[in-house]
C-alpha cells in the first residue's frame, strides 16, 4: 500500500456516475452523459448494443469444480481452482506464470525491456476495453480451446456489465484494470490521473464482487506511460503491461485482417504478449480462427496470474457506493429476472 501522501486524491475527483447495481438498470436508465463518445483505442463506446449479454454456452470446454460464489470471501478462481478441460484436442495452456507485482514491474517489449520470461513460440493473450457484450463471444471461444487470457477492464464498462466481467473471472481468466474511462493519462494532472486509475480499480473489484479478486495488473490507455504514473503504480505494487505486438484490431476491424496481423508478427518475433480488444466486434469473431492458427503453428499459450490481489483504496470504494443511483433490494442477476416468454 502506498503512503498516504502518494494516494491522497482530492475528494471532488471521486465521482463514478453509476446508474445502479445491475445490467438491467443500466440499460433501462443509463443517463445520456454516460453514453457520450469516449475514446477507446480508436473506437467509440457511445453506441448502444441491442442484444443483451448472453451467458456462456453450457458446451464450453472449461468447467470449474465449484462456483466461487459458494466460497467465503473473495476468491481468485484462476488461482484456487484449475478448470477441467473437456476438449482432448484443445490448444490449452502450456504453463501458468505467477507475477510478483511488488514495486510495479513492467512487461511488454514495446516499452519495457527488462523481463523476458517467454520461451520460443510462447504467447500471452491479452484483451482490453471490456467488459462489453462482445466479451461473451471471446470468453466462449477461449473456453472451447481451454485457453486462459488476461483482460484489462475499463472501470466504467465494469459498472455497465458486471455480470459479463464476473463470467470472465469465473472462466479462470485474470482481470486487471485499464482506467475508469480510457483517458490519455499523459494529458491529465497527477491527481486526475490517479483518480482515473483508482476509480477503475474500485469499479472492477466491485463488479467482481465476492466471486474473484482483481489482479494487480494495469495497462495504460493508448500505451502512453507518464513517468509519474508509472512511479505511482510501482508504489501501489501494481504491474504495468505494455505489449510485444499490437494487433491493431481497432483499425483493421475485419477478422481475417486481425488474424493475419497477429500471425505475421508472431512469425517475425517468435513469441510475445499480444494486445487485442474484446470490445471490438471483429476481434470477437476472429478469436476462434486465431486459436486454430496458433495451434496449427505450434504456438503455446502462457497464462499470467498475480501473486497478490490488488488492494482498493477505501475512499474510492466509498465514492463508488455513494454514486450508485436508486439501488433496489433485489440483487439477482438480470438473467434470473428477465426472460423471453414468447
Calpha distance 94→303 (Å, rounded): 8
Q: Cell numbers at residue 233, please? A: 503504480
**96 strand-pairing partners:** 303
Grid cell of 337 as nine digits: 429476472
Sorted by sequence, the CB contacts under 8 Å of residue 337 that are 6+ apart come out as 24, 330
128 is catalytic: yes
Apex 157 CA angle, 265 and 134, nearest 5: 55
Per-residue DSSP letter, 81: S
CA-closest candidate to residue 96, choices 80, 75, 108: 80
* Largest distance between two CA atoms of the chain: 58
Q: Annotated catalytic residue: which of 173, 277, 285, 303?
A: 277
DSSP string, 132-186: STTHHHHHHHHHHTT---EEEE-HHHHHH-HHHHHHHHHTT-EEEE--SS---GG
CA dist., res. 193 & res. 220, Å (int): 11
The Cα angle at residue 12 between residues 74 and 181, in degrees rounded to 5: 60
For residues 141 and 308, give the distance between their C-alpha atoms in angstroms, rounded to a whole number: 28
Separation of alpha carbons 66 and 64, rounded Å: 5
Q: Please state at what angle helix 162-170 crosses helix 190-208, rounded to 10 degrees.
A: 70
277 is catalytic: yes
CA distances from 37 to 44, 47, 215, 245, 249 (A): 6, 8, 28, 27, 19
| Nearest residue to 245 (alpha-carbon basis) of 267, 262, 224 | 262
Residue 257 grid cell: 485482417
Active site residues: 128, 277
Amino acid at each position: 500500500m502506498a503512503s498516504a501522501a502518494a494516494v491522497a486524491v482530492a475528494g471532488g475527483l471521486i465521482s463514478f456516475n453509476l446508474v445502479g447495481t445491475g445490467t438491467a438498470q443500466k440499460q433501462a436508465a443509463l443517463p445520456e452523459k454516460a453514453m457520450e463518445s469516449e475514446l477507446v483505442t480508436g473506437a467509440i463506446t457511445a453506441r448502444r448494443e441491442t442484444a443483451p449479454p448472453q451467458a456462456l454456452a453450457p458446451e464450453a470446454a472449461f468447467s470449474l469444480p465449484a462456483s466461487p460464489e459458494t466460497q467465503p470471501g473473495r476468491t481468485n478462481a484462476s488461482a484456487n481452482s484449475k478448470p477441467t478441460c473437456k476438449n482432448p484436442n484443445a490448444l490449452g495452456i502450456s504453463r501458468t506464470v505467477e507475477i510478483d507485482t511488488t514495486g510495479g514491474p513492467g512487461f511488454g517489449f514495446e516499452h519495457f525491456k527488462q523481463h523476458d520470461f517467454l520461451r520460443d513460440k510462447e504467447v500471452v493473450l491479452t484483451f482490453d476495453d471490456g467488459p462489453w457484450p462482445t466479451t461473451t463471444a471471446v470468453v466462449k471461444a477461449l473456453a472451447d480451446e481451454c485457453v486462459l487470457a488476461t483482460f484489462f477492464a475499463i472501470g466504467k464498462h465494469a459498472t455497465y456489465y458486471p455480470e459479463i466481467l464476473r463470467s470472465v473471472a469465473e472462466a479462470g481468466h485474470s482481470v486487471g484494470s485499464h482506467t475508469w474511462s480510457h483517458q490519455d493519462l499523459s494529458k491529465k494532472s497527477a491527481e486526475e490521473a490517479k483518480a482515473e486509475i483508482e476509480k477503475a480499480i474500485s469499479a472492477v473489484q466491485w463488479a467482481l464482487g465476492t466471486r474473484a479478486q482483481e489482479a494487480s495488473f494495469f495497462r495504460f490507455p493508448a500505451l502512453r506511460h507518464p513517468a509519474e504514473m508509472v512511479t505511482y503504480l510501482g508504489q501501489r505494487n501494481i504491474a504495468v503491461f505494455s505489449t510485444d505486438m499490437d494487433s491493431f484490431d481497432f483499425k483493421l476491424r475485419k477478422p481475417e485482417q486481425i488474424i493475419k496481423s497477429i500471425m505475421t508478427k508472431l512469425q517475425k518475433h517468435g513469441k510475445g504478449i499480444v494486445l487485442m480488444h474484446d470490445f471490438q466486434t471483429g476481434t470477437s469473431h476472429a478469436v476462434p480462427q486465431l486459436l486454430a492458427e496458433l495451434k496449427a503453428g505450434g504456438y503455446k499459450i502462457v497464462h499470467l496470474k498475480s501473486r497478490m490481489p490488488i488492494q482498493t483504496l477505501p475512499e474510492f470504494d466509498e465514492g463508488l457506493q455513494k454514486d450508485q443511483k436508486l439501488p433496489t433490494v433485489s440483487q439477482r442477476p438480470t438473467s434470473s429476472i428477465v426472460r423471453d416468454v414468447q
